[in-house]
Structure formats: C-alpha cells, structure tokens
C-alpha cells in the first residue's frame, strides 16, 4: 500500500487552514485599506480598538505595534524607571523582563507553579523583601498568563494590594480567556497582549494592544504610542515611542476577530481530546477550576531526561513539537545579573520545567484524524523509553 496522505508532516500551527476558512474577507479588507490609503492610524485602527474593548469588557483598548510595545507602553505609563523593582516570572518569553530592563528598572525573578506554569503567588513576598534588600522600590508585578490560562489572580491581587504594587498582566498568550466572571483584559491596572501571527489572535505581522479601565492611563498610553504627543502636535508632552499598529494589521484583525470566539471553542475541543487521550501516557496541562484557557500552547511535562528522544521520535513520525521555554530568564546571558527570589539563586520549578516541557501541535483546525496521529506517535515514543 502507498503511504497515506496523512504521513506528510503536520503543521504546528495551521494558519493556511484559517486563511482558507476566512475566504476572500481578509483580501477584501486589505484592498479597502489600499484604496483609502490611510496606512497610519486609519479608520480600521479606531474600529479595532472599539471591538477589542467590547470583546473583553475593558473601557479602553490601545492598539500598538507589538506585545513587547504594549508592555513598554504600560510600564512607561506607570512611570517605571531606575530604582524600581518589577517582579516577573522566570519561565516566560524574554519580552516580559526585557521591557522592564530596557526602562532601567530591575526585573526580580520569581518561580512558577508546576501545574499552571504561571507565577506562584507565594513567591511574591520573598521577592518584595529581596528587592528592598537591594535598595530597590518594589513597584509592580507582571503576571504572565502562560500558554493561554490566566494566573491565580485573587492571591496575586491580594498580596499586590497589601504592598501597594500594581499589576500589569502579560496576556500575550491569553487574550480571549476568562478568570471566573472576569475576562482577560480587565484584570490588573492594565493588560498587554500580542497579535504576533502564532498567538491565539494573530495578525499578518507584528501587532499588540494594551487594555485598561483606567482613563488617565489610557490617555497616557495613547500619547506615548505617538512619541508622547500632546494636544499641540509639535509640543510633545512626554518621551514616547513610535508604537502604532499599522492600519493593514487592524483591518486583518477585524476579520479574524469575527471567527475568534469559534476558534476558542475549537481550541478547547482539541485540548480536551488531547487530555482524554493522553491521560494514561503523560502529564497533560490542567486548567484551574473556574478558569478558561485559549490554549496558546498545549504543553506536556515529560520525565527528566526523556525530552530529546521523545521529540526526535515525534519528528520522525511527522509530528512537530516545540520547547517553550528551554532556558528560564534568570539563566539567560542578558538577565543573569538580576535578583532571583529563590534558594541560592535557583528557581527549581522553572529550571525543571525548562528541561521537561514539550508543546504539541495546537490550533483550531487540528482534525481528530491528525490528532490521533499525534497521540499514537507520542504514546509509542513514551512507551519506547519507559523500560520493561
């Protein structure tokens, strides 16, 4: 028998399937922008901001050029600078700590919870004490909703409030998720999200947004996004950035938002199928009770020392995988000198997860047939190394 067509490698994220579903809508939206020619801050940007704000229930959405710029805008608006300490988890994408360090403030690294992969709230008070011992002013926390699930916000909020710290949520992976009755985008002083193509809501380039209920903070972010402009175009009120979202990307996002709720449902169905099928095989991710996830990644935890072989076996079976993240931030060259709130400068959970996690193909268009192929290959790979 010839090879079944399904033997060709699966995509990790299938943007082509999404594009096929969207049909001509995106092309037409792009064509409209080309026609009106308002490429910078065109009408689609303002419309997108309204739709984003309504989608999550935030008072304000400020579109910007990337998730990293959203973090920067938030930190700038909160007047973060030298002498300030901002607590960030070590197990995240570099941008979370980079935005802090770029402004001359000091990221203080804390560990994560091994089940949710999100910031462990009990690490906050030791981090606050550590920041003070370094002569720094603890100012805020950037909780990261890693892999699509919101953090343990009530515990984080309680500790932050007690110490007068703000929360700037890094929701680059979780826009569209909910924490109980609250939607991501309405938690903390402000929320930063990303529209990088592979995020749950992605555009066709770089993009991001900051969401907040705080009128003054929103106005400051709007000014900062355009070089700190004031009411007089040639009298800048503050030092800012060029961090606008392109009109073309806004037009694309408006089309993608129309199918986003359905895509979130599909992502959850895919995750549930994985979890049921993989329960006897590996430790699969758990979403806390009352939480929902948008499943930016479906990340399993393998036994120590098994990952390279399992990933190689899966690759041979045409199943791509990815490691998010192989090196926690406190172990990366650029971030080694920042304070680490852990025993002897270690963050044991972040370090263990960096060595053991593996993310599987995850997107709304993953068919049951293709998913069975992932499950079968993973089951074989795990049993192969499991010993007698």
Residue 243, interface with ligand PLP (CB under 6 A)? no
Q: Report, in Å, the least distance between residue 16 CB and ligand PLP.
A: 21
Residue 302, interface with ligand PLP (CB under 6 A)? no
Residue 93, interface with ligand PLP (CB under 6 A)? yes
Pair of tokens at residue 174: 């979780």
Which of 12-20, 78-86, 89-97, 282-290 is the region at the interface with ligand PLP (rule: CB under 6 A)? 89-97
Residue 359, interface with ligand PLP (CB under 6 A)? no
Residue 185, interface with ligand PLP (CB under 6 A)? no
Q: Which of residues 329 and 378 has its CB atom nearest to ligand PLP in the complex? A: 329
Among 66, 220, 297, 350, binds ligand PLP (CB under 6 A): 66
Pair of tokens at residue 220: 């400051």
DSSP E strand boundaries for the chain: 60-64, 84-89, 106-110, 137-141, 166-170, 178-179, 182-183, 190-194, 208-212, 298-301, 357-360
Residue 194, interface with ligand PLP (CB under 6 A)? yes
Residue 96, interface with ligand PLP (CB under 6 A)? yes
C-alpha 311/C-alpha 124 separation (Å) is 34
C-alpha 200/C-alpha 145 separation (Å) is 13
Q: Which of residues 66 and 371 has its CB atom nearest to ligand PLP in the complex? A: 66
Between residue 201 and residue 220, which ones bind ligand PLP under the rule CB under 6 A? 206, 208
Q: Which of residues 95 and 136 has its CB atom nearest to ligand PLP in the complex? A: 95
Number of residues engaging ligand PLP in binding (CB under 6 A): 15
Which of 66-74, 126-134, 214-222, 282-290 is the region at the interface with ligand PLP (rule: CB under 6 A)? 66-74
336, with CB counted inside 10 A (0-12, 13-18, 19+), is: exposed
Residue 299, interface with ligand PLP (CB under 6 A)? no
Among 55, 179, 196, 295, binds ligand PLP (CB under 6 A): 196
Among 62, 64, 90, 95, binds ligand PLP (CB under 6 A): 95
Residue 172, interface with ligand PLP (CB under 6 A)? yes
Q: Which of residues 296 and 378 has its CB atom nearest to ligand PLP in the complex? A: 296
Give CB contacts under 8 A, 24+ apart, made by 376-380.
Answer: 377/313, 377/314, 377/317, 377/318, 377/319, 378/278, 378/281, 378/282, 378/300, 378/310, 378/314, 378/319, 379/278, 379/281, 380/313, 380/317
Q: Report, in Å, the least distance between residue 296 CB and ligand PLP.
A: 7
Residue 26, interface with ligand PLP (CB under 6 A)? no
Q: Is the peptide bond before 104 cis (omega within 30 degrees of 0)?
A: no
Q: Report, in Å, the least distance between residue 93 CB and ligand PLP.
A: 4
C-alpha 113/C-alpha 349 separation (Å) is 7
Burial string for 49-68 (b: 16+ CB within 10 Å, else e) reads: beebbebbebebbbbbbbbb
Element (H, E) at 253: helix 247-278
Q: Which of residues 152 and 377 has its CB atom nearest to ligand PLP in the complex? A: 152
Residue 170, interface with ligand PLP (CB under 6 A)? yes
119, with CB counted inside 10 A (0-12, 13-18, 19+), is: buried
Between residue 129 and residue 168, which ones bind ligand PLP under the rule CB under 6 A? 144
Question: Which residues are at the interface with ligand PLP (CB under 6 A)?
Answer: 66-68, 92-93, 95-96, 144, 170, 172-173, 194, 196, 206, 208
């Amino acid at each position: 028998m010839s090879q079944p067509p399904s033997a060709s490698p699966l995509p990790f994220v299938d943007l082509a399937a999404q594009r096929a579903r969207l049909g001509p809508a995106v092309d037409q939206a792009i064509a409209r922008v080309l026609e009106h020619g308002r490429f910078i801050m065109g009408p689609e940007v303002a419309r997108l901001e309204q739709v984003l704000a309504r989608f999550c229930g935030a008072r304000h959405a400020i579109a910007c050029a990337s998730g990293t710029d959203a973090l920067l805008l938030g930190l700038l608006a909160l007047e973060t600078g030298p002498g300030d300490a901002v607590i960030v988890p070590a197990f995240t994408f570099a941008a979370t700590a980079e935005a802090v360090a770029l402004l001359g403030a000091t990221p203080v690294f804390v560990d994560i919870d091994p089940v949710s992969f999100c910031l462990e709230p009990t690490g906050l008070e030791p981090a606050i004490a550590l920041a003070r011992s370094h002569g720094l002013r603890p100012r805020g926390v950037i909780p990261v909703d890693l892999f699509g699930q919101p953090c343990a916000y009530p515990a984080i909020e309680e500790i932050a409030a007690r110490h007068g710290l703000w929360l700037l949520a890094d929701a680059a992976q979780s826009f569209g998720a909910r924490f109980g009755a609250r939607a991501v985008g309405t938690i903390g002083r402000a929320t930063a999200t990303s529209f990088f193509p592979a995020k749950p809501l992605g555009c066709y380039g770089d993009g991001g947004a900051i969401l907040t209920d705080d009128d003054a903070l929103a106005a400051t972010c709007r000014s900062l996004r355009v070089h700190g402009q004031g009411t007089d175009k040639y009298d800048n009120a503050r030092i800012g950035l060029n961090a606008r979202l392109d009109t073309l990307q806004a037009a694309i996002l408006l089309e993608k938002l129309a199918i986003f709720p359905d895509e979130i449902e599909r992502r959850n169905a895919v995750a549930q199928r994985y979890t049921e099928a993989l329960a006897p095989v590996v430790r699969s991710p758990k979403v806390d009770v009352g939480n929902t996830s948008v499943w930016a990644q479906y990340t399993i935890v393998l036994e120590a020392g098994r990952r390279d072989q399992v990933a190689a076996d899966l690759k041979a079976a045409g199943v791509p995988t990815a490691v998010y993240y192989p090196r926690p931030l406190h172990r990366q060259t650029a971030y080694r000198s920042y304070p680490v709130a852990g025993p002897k400068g270690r963050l044991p959970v972040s370090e263990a997860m960096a060595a053991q996690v593996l993310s599987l193909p995850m997107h709304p268009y993953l068919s049951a047939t293709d998913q069975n192929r992932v499950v079968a290959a993973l089951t074989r790979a795990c049993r192969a190394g499991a010993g007698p």
